Amino acid sequence: MAEELLLSANTVAAAAVFILGLIVAWDAFWLTRQRTDIPTLGELSNGGFAWESEGPQEVIRQWGNLASMAAMIALPWALLEASNTSYWYAIVWDVLLSLHIISLLVPKRYAITRTHLFADGQRYSWNRLRLARRQPARRIMLLRQGWGIFGPLPLGGGQNDLTLARSRIEAAFDAETHWPQMGNKRSEEE
């Protein structure tokens, strides 16, 4: 009776591959929006700042995710024979994870305005974020409130860009007194 209630290994593998495919497609969609949301780099007219990272800076930003995905690529191969799962699921799994790894390494655009942070194609309100107490040397670490251990939001970029971004982030958290004003005011959400 208990054996009848269990799903087959291939059914579970198909569901896992499907979910991973949705995640990869979702991330790819948001990454395509970054040039739309952040059309220009440098100083923004509202006192904000936008910058772009390079591939090696994204490696520094994403090193933890890259290590865990390497383990996720290798792990299914050890379990295939024991679970009697088709090799095709592992191959598709590895292809999808490889595409996701590539998307992590693509240079990203970031922007800071008085009201929002733009990162990874997403827009985050400052009241949903906070600066981590301990900051890594070559990136900025923000934490998403309410996400617990899944909350880190690292920002990558060159050291000069990160220094300027950090000052704008601190100003955004204290926008009433420190937000820089620039000449021609446009929308705060540029």
Q: What share of the chain is helix, strand, coil (3-state, %, to 5)?
A: 55, 15, 30
In a domain, 111, yes or no: yes
- When pLDDT is averaged across residues 50-79 and rounded to a whole number, the result is 86
The domain tally of the chain equals 1
* CA angle, 148 then 152 then 157, to 5°: 175
Handedness of CA 116, 118, 124, 127 (dihedral sign): negative
- How many Å apart are CA 49 and CA 161, to the nearest integer? 9
> Which pair of structure tokens corresponds to residue 4?
């009848």
In a domain, 2, yes or no: no
Q: Are 125 and 116 in contact (CB under 8 A)?
A: yes
- CA-nearest of 171, 38, 184, 60 to 111 is 38
Q: Residue 61 is part of which domain span?
A: 11-178
In a domain, 190, yes or no: no
pLDDT at 177 over 70: no
Provide the pLDDT for residue 121.
Answer: 83
pLDDT tens, position by position, 160-172: 999 999 988 888 8
pLDDT tens, position by position, 2-24: 455 567 888 888 999 999 999 99
In a domain, 5, yes or no: no
3-class DSSP state of 40:
coil
